[in-house]
């Protein structure tokens, strides 16, 4: 926490960081006493505000411009192309879910849940994070 009672970030699994303002020892203690479960939101504590975190220049060193998400379904074109090109049957791929863009280790990142046909004709579902730099997928994480 900084001097202004702002918790600078919380990392949930491999997900994006969250930033909260208005935290005190008292309301964090209250949160902890109530279980501090991941299903509970810190923002539900009276006086705590979840801030929308904009990436800083330091966050985005080398990441390039922010990829544009489709207004229709939130998809990122370079990720769609990457998945279709690397799938056993690119035409069978169906996109099920997209996360908001995040910054992970200085790169743009998005989580995508999709399904498609594997080599044996079975349908498999994948849920992966894609790291993006300059509108190109540079890495994939489970």
Q: Is the dihedral of CA 28, 31, 33, 38 positive or negative?
A: negative
Instruction: Tell me 42's DSSP state.
Output: G
What is the pLDDT, as a whole number, of residue 103? 83
pLDDT at 138 over 60: yes
Residue 47: predicted pLDDT: 56
Please tell me the pTM assigned to this model.
0.59
Backbone angles phi, psi at 38, to 5 degrees: -65, -25
Contacts 24+ apart (CB under 8 A), 113-119: 114/83, 116/87, 116/88, 116/89, 116/90, 116/92, 117/88, 117/89, 117/92, 118/88, 119/88
Distance between CA atoms of residues 56 and 54, nearest Å: 6
Question: Domain limits of the chain?
Answer: 7-51, 77-141
- For 40-59, what is each residue's pLDDT tens digit? 455 555 555 555 555 565 55
Give pLDDT tens digits for 59-118: 555 678 889 999 999 999 999 999 999 999 999 999 999 999 888 878 899 999 999 999
Check whether 120 has a pLDDT greater than 50. Answer: yes
Contact 21, 8 (CB under 8 A): no
Cβ-Cβ contacts under 8 Å for 16 (sequence gap 6 or more): 53, 99, 100, 102, 103, 104, 109
7 or 99, greater pLDDT: 99
């Amino acid at each position: 926490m900084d001097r202004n009672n702002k918790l600078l970030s919380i990392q949930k699994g491999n997900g994006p960081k969250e930033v909260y303002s208005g935290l005190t020892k008292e309301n964090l203690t209250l949160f902890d006493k109530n279980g501090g479960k991941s299903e509970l939101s810190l923002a539900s504590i009276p006086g705590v505000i979840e801030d929308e975190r904009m990436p800083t220049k330091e966050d985005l060193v080398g990441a390039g411009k922010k990829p544009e998400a489709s207004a229709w379904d939130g998809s990122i074109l370079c990720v769609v192309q990457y998945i279709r090109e690397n799938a056993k049957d690119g035409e069978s791929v169906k996109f099920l879910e997209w996360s908001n863009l995040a910054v992970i280790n200085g790169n743009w990142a998005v989580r995508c849940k999709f399904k498609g046909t594997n080599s044996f004709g079975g349908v498999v579902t994948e849920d992966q994070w894609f790291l993006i730099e300059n509108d190109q997928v540079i890495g994939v994480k489970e």
